Amino acid sequence: MAQSVVVLSSQLITTLSALAYLRWRGIRGTRLEVVSLYRDDLSHSAKAFQPLLRYLAAQDGHDCRFIAGDSAFTEPEPRACSLLLLPRLDDREGQQMLRTYQASEVVELGESIGVETRLYSRRGRRERQRMLRRLHCADGQAVVRQDPLIPFNQPVDPGRLRCLLELCATCRAAFADSPSTNGNPAPGLMLCLPYLKLKTWRFRWRLMGRSLGWRQAPVIENGSYVRRAVRSAWRPLPAAAPLRVQAHPKNESHHGLIERLLAPLRPDAPLQVLGSTDPLEVRLSSGWSSEASGPWQLLGFGTNLLAAAVFLAPHHRGVMLCQPAEQGWWRRCSDPWLNRREWRRSQHVGALLSNLLDALDQLPAQ
């Protein structure tokens, strides 16, 4: 009887990372279920790439099928499977999958391409550690392991990384023939933004279930930090290079705010905030191809940088992290407190990105 594997994934690159993990471990010929708990009409969702992902799974003998969130939880009793692959163990979706599927082995792969999960709020970190201790100490539970592709303090496994690069190369070849990539764009800069929260209250307090306070026009939280980080990364690059901004899908209705935030940085440079009609991997597959008119520079804040570095190798050295340049003792002391979330994100992603780029540099020599 074929081994049963269940993968929780709602994005293209996350599913590719799971397929690469199975290939690296030598797990082939399984009954593979890819479960998505999110809206499947988003451009980066796995639904748009189901034929391609099914083809990639079939290369390793997997019989792959895709399940939407509502269909995954219709049966009253937990379903048995041999292996359950989750981006995170401690979030709501991961816990829901643990209750739904009775697995012999559970592996936390990490977010996006397989990044060690590290939360940026103190409360979130405490809750995660508490949940992991309870999960590891529970009697009669499955074997639980954390196995990220890019660990924080250890080198990247070259064999596993090579498996992911092979799958990414097949995807790039498929996207090159896709009608959504309308020719090779001119060389320039691509800025990948994380989800930007909006601030709509100057002061607010809750009384008997009602919000009271002083409203204001919506503005982007941590806007000053984001502007300083982009300015610092943009400074050594050509002044007239056009900037294309890949906004987070949840900020689709906030493009005007993003333009007003970034336009003053270089008033004379073209600025375009792209709609979420195509995911990052599809847009850059033509811009970074060998036939393109010139290399792109990719700037960003979060794990989308890591995903693009893997997906678009060997041009990975064009990937740069946005973080403010040090501007005296006040900034060094205030950012960890006033911009705690973004500062923690830059420290975490910076270390992981450096680890990945070093591993990509060493692959051709092996």
Q: Where are the domains of the chain?
A: 4-176, 189-362
| Chain center to CA of 47 | 17
Q: How far is CA 295 from CA 45, 164, 240, in A?
A: 27, 22, 15
Select from 103, 109, 107 the least CA-distant residue to 142: 103
Count Cα atoms within 13 angstroms, Cβ side, for 104. Answer: 6
Checking if the pLDDT of 315 tops 80, the result is yes
For the residues 98-124, what does the mean pLDDT come to?
89
* Greatest pairwise CA separation for the chain in angstroms: 65
Residues 4-176, CATH architecture: 3-Layer(aba) Sandwich (3.40)
Q: Which amino acid is at 110?
A: G
The DSSP string of 163-212 is HHHHHHHHHHHHHHT-TTS-SPPPS-EEEE--PPPEEEEEEEEEETTEEE
In angstroms, rounded to a whole number, what is the distance separating the alpha carbons of residues 59 and 41? 27
Highest mean predicted confidence (pLDDT) among 36-40, 183-187, 236-240, 327-331: 236-240
Examine residue 314 and say whether the peptide bond preceding it is cis (omega within 30 degrees of 0). yes
Checking if the pLDDT of 361 tops 60, the result is yes
pLDDT tens-digit map of 31-47: 999 998 765 545 455 67
When the pLDDT of each residue in the chain is averaged and rounded to a whole number, the result is: 84
- Residues above pLDDT 70, as percent of the chain: 87
The more confident residue out of 303 and 366 is 303
SS3 at position 31 = strand
pLDDT tens-digit map of 1-20: 569 999 998 888 999 999 99
pLDDT tens-digit map of 50-102: 999 999 999 999 999 998 766 666 666 778 999 999 999 988 889 889 988 98
In angstroms, rounded to a whole number, what is the distance separating the alpha carbons of residues 109 and 45? 18
Contact status, residue 174 vs residue 168, Cβ threshold 8 Å: no
Contact status, residue 94 vs residue 8, Cβ threshold 8 Å: yes
pLDDT score of 319:
92
Contact status, residue 95 vs residue 138, Cβ threshold 8 Å: no
Left (φ > 0), alpha (ψ -120 to 50) or beta: where does 109 sit?
alpha
Checking if the pLDDT of 137 tops 50, the result is yes
pLDDT tens-digit map of 247-296: 988 898 999 999 999 999 988 888 999 887 777 888 877 655 444 445 56
Residue 83 host element (H or E) = strand 79-86
Select from 24, 107, 36, 45 the least CA-distant residue to 73: 36
In angstroms, rounded to a whole number, what is the distance separating the alpha carbons of residues 58 and 61? 5
Select from 109, 127, 270 the least CA-distant residue to 188: 270
